[in-house]
Each structure stands twice: as C-alpha cells, then as structure tokens.
Amino acid sequence: MMGPAHSLSGAAAWLGVGAAAGATGHEMPWPVLVTGALICAGAALAPDLDHKSATISRSFGPLSRALCGVIDQLSHAVYKATRKKGDPRRSGGHRTLTHTWVWAVLIGAGASALAVAGGRWAVLGILFVHMVLAVEGLLWRMARVSSDVLVWLLGATSAWILAEILNRPGNGSHWLFTGDGHEYLWLGLPIVLGALVHDIGDALTVSGCPILWPIPIGRKRWYPIGPPKSMRFRAGAWVEVKVLMPAFMVLGGVCGLGALGYL
C-alpha cells in the first residue's frame, strides 16, 4: 500500500485498541489515545525505510537517505544469509527484514527501552520522529507542497505539546506500566502495532509480505504471506484509494468515539 493508506490504517488500529480497552473497563486516557494514534500512524510508514523512494526515506533529508541505504544493505545481507532454496535471488532488501514481525518487535522494544533509559529528551525524540511521519502520512497533500523545515517544526511542536500533556498527573505517562521508572514504557506498543499493520497492508498487495520470517513455510523462509491472488491489488489501485482509505477513516472515527465513551 501507499503511505497515506498505511498511516490511516495505523491510526485506526490504535483507536481500535483504545475502544477495546474501554470496552473491557480499562479506559485509555485521551492523551494516550491521541498520542498513540499519531505514533502508530507514523510507525506504519517506518518499514519502508528499506526503499529509497519511500516517504520515510525522504522525510529527514540526508540523514534518512543515508539510513535507508544502510537498512537496505542490512536487509539484503540478512535475506541472503537466511534464504532457503525456494526463495528467489534478490538484488535489494525491500520488503524483507523490515517487513517481519521480528523487526516490529525489536523496534518497539528498542523504543521502549530508549524512553525509559533516556528520559525526557529520548521521549521527545521518539515523539518528534513519529509526529513528522504522521504529518507526512496523514496530511500528505499539504506536506508535499510545503518545505521539510515546516513539517519538522510542526512535528517538533506537536511532540513538545504532547509530552507536556502526558507528563501531567493521570494523563498517561504511566499508562499500563505503573512501576517506578516505567514512564513511557508503553511507547513501544503503538510502534510495534504500526509496523505490523504496515506488513498486513502490504500482504494484501500483489507481492505479499514475509511477515512470519524466520519461520519456514515449505521450501521458503521468506514466504510472501497474503490472501489468494485473485483478492490482491496493486499499491495505489482504486480499491486502496476508493475503498480501504475511506473504510479506515470511518473505522477510526467509530473506534475513537468508542474509546472516549461516546458509544
């Protein structure tokens, strides 16, 4: 799928988690609901860091372009080292390592560890990166015609405001993990969810997605999971733009109202 659809699906997924939490009597504070939805929307773009034309690879200038090259080479190396006889030969790493459940868990766990160990500035850094990506994904039309600096300023402002709100007592810095020193440990959860939602979205397309790596399936370790080929579509096709994106918006709205107790 394309960036906007990935971001919308990520936001809708976290709002769905909020609705489920509310339905089971564990209401999510509204700052956690909003922040998590934006983080998840941004994280849903992150697996494409292995592709030089992806939104995330262009979002942070030379830094993200350089990181894209590193991730692509790393992904390709891991693919070559772990492929089975049934896996085809590849010349690049797109849709390999970063499109697996292993990567999603590692990135989420790393973000949580960084937030706990690094304190306020680490939290602000995590929020900034994902707010910029959320702007790029959810407001992609406006982001494309504005300068990168304006997008970065909006991301930094949003990150600062959200961090200030979350820091207030009862607003969610200790959500789910209440122990001393566990502030913001939950930040990894929307990151994991966003990456997995991205993978599921890509699994619906023609190429499928090797979400289950390194679990071997038949003669392949990088088996492209997906529905029957007759139900798949090409990225950017009408079914994505005309059906899935509106569905994500409606679903996200309904789940958001449910999470806030209005349904």
pLDDT of residue 146: 67
**Above 70 in pLDDT, residue 15?**
yes
**Above 80 in pLDDT, residue 142?**
no
What number is the average pLDDT over the span 181-201? 94
Q: Angle, to 10 degrees, between the axis of helix 148-167 and the axis of helix 30-43?
A: 150
**Above 90 in pLDDT, residue 91?**
no
pLDDT tens per residue, range 228-240: 988 888 877 888 8
**First-to-last C-alpha distance (Å) of the chain:** 31
pTM for this prediction: 0.93
Asked if residue 88 has a cis previous peptide bond (ω within 30° of 0), the answer is no
Could you give the CA distance from residue 112 to residue 156 in angstroms, rounded to a whole number?
20
Residue 49 banded pLDDT, cuts 50, 70, 90: very high
Could you give the CA distance from residue 103 to residue 96 in angstroms, rounded to a whole number?
10
Grouping H, G, I as helix, E, B as strand and the rest as coil, residue 23 is helix
Question: Backbone dihedral region of 80: left (phi > 0), alpha (psi from -120 to 50 degrees) or beta?
Answer: alpha
Helices (H) and strands (E) in the chain, counts: 10, 0
Written in H, E and C, the secondary structure of 25-50 is: CCCCCHHHHHHHHHHHHHHCCHHHHH
% residues pLDDT > 90 (the chain): 68
Phi, psi of 234 (to 5 degrees): -85, 145
Beta carbons of 115 and 185 less than 8 angstroms apart: yes
Could you give the CA distance from residue 14 to residue 194 in angstroms, rounded to a whole number?
8
- More reliable by pLDDT, 235 or 47: 47
**Above 70 in pLDDT, residue 145?**
no
Could you give the CA distance from residue 198 to residue 202 in angstroms, rounded to a whole number?
6
**Above 60 in pLDDT, residue 141?**
yes
Neighbouring CB atoms inside 10 A of 28's CB total: 23
Could you give the CA distance from residue 14 to residue 1 in angstroms, rounded to a whole number?
18
Could you give the CA distance from residue 163 to residue 53 in angstroms, rounded to a whole number?
31
Could you give the CA distance from residue 79 to residue 38 in angstroms, rounded to a whole number?
31
Beta carbons of 214 and 22 less than 8 angstroms apart: no
pLDDT of residue 235: 79
Per domain, the residue ranges of the chain are 3-260
Exposed / middle / buried, residue 164 (Cβ in 10 Å: 0-12, 13-18, 19+)? exposed
pLDDT of residue 231: 87
